[in-house]
Amino acid sequence: RTIGDRIGEAKASGNLGNTLKILGQFDEAVVCCQRHLDISREQGDKVGEARALYNIGNVYHAKGKHLSWNMAQDPGYLPQEVKDTLQKASEYYERNLSLVKELGDRAAQGRAYGNLGNTQYLLGNFSEAIAFHKERLAIAKEFGDKAAERRAYSNLGNAHIFLGRFDISADYYKKTLQLSRQLKDQAVEAQACYSLGNTCTLLQDYEKAIEYHLRHLVIAQELGDR
């Protein structure tokens, strides 16, 4: 501010916003991220504007998750305040998405699709969540981003469960399992086995369910995860 560096002030405000988000000070975080957004617009900095929109989406997303942690409910069954907060997150992600499309930034589009999928899932809009996660999956494959691909499969599996499409869920969870082994991520492998065990139970394939739950148990013991 002293040297009149507006772009620098915008970036610093954005960083402050992100830090306050991590500290759980969501309302202050929004104010800082909004300043980042306002200055970026004033300076005609499209990249900064896109980043600020994404960051504000993240703050509302984190706030929505934080508010809903106190209530262990299924996605979709949320108090109004949580719904409104997640809806705001979704709106900012949408605005970010249209701007990064304009800028031709595919990686940023992938991130926006993934977060839109997650917010719609929490809001109980499972069909919309699936559409967004499929877009996320396509971009992850485009970039050869195995970790993002794995997350997309997992999210697609979760959303299909709530639509009662257990067989489709099982297919996605199997892909998650395959990739977690490729990535040598045992915690995620355990999680995939757990999801597959539950899905096989829903499909009444109890033998398979037992197999997956035993695998989950073995990994949990190996990792010393009580």
Instruction: Please return the burial class of 186, using the count of CB atoms within 10 Å of its CB with bins 0-12, 13-18 and 19+.
Output: middle
- Please state which CATH class domain 146-225 belongs to: mainly alpha
Encode the chain (226 residues) as per-residue pLDDT tens digits. 999 999 999 999 999 999 999 999 999 999 999 999 999 999 999 999 999 999 999 999 999 999 988 776 677 788 899 999 999 999 999 999 999 999 999 999 999 999 999 999 999 999 999 999 999 999 999 999 999 999 999 999 999 999 999 999 999 999 999 999 999 999 999 999 999 999 999 999 999 999 999 999 999 999 999 9
Can you give the pLDDT at residue 72? 62
Name residue, tokens 């082994």: 181
Spatial distance between the Cα atoms of 104 and 108, rounded to a whole number of angstroms? 9
72: DSSP letter: -
Residue recorded with tokens 């990535």: 183
- Global pTM value: 0.93
Query: Residues of CATH 1.25.40.10 domain(s) within the chain?
Result: 1-144, 146-225
CATH superfamily of 1-144: Tetratricopeptide repeat domain (1.25.40.10)
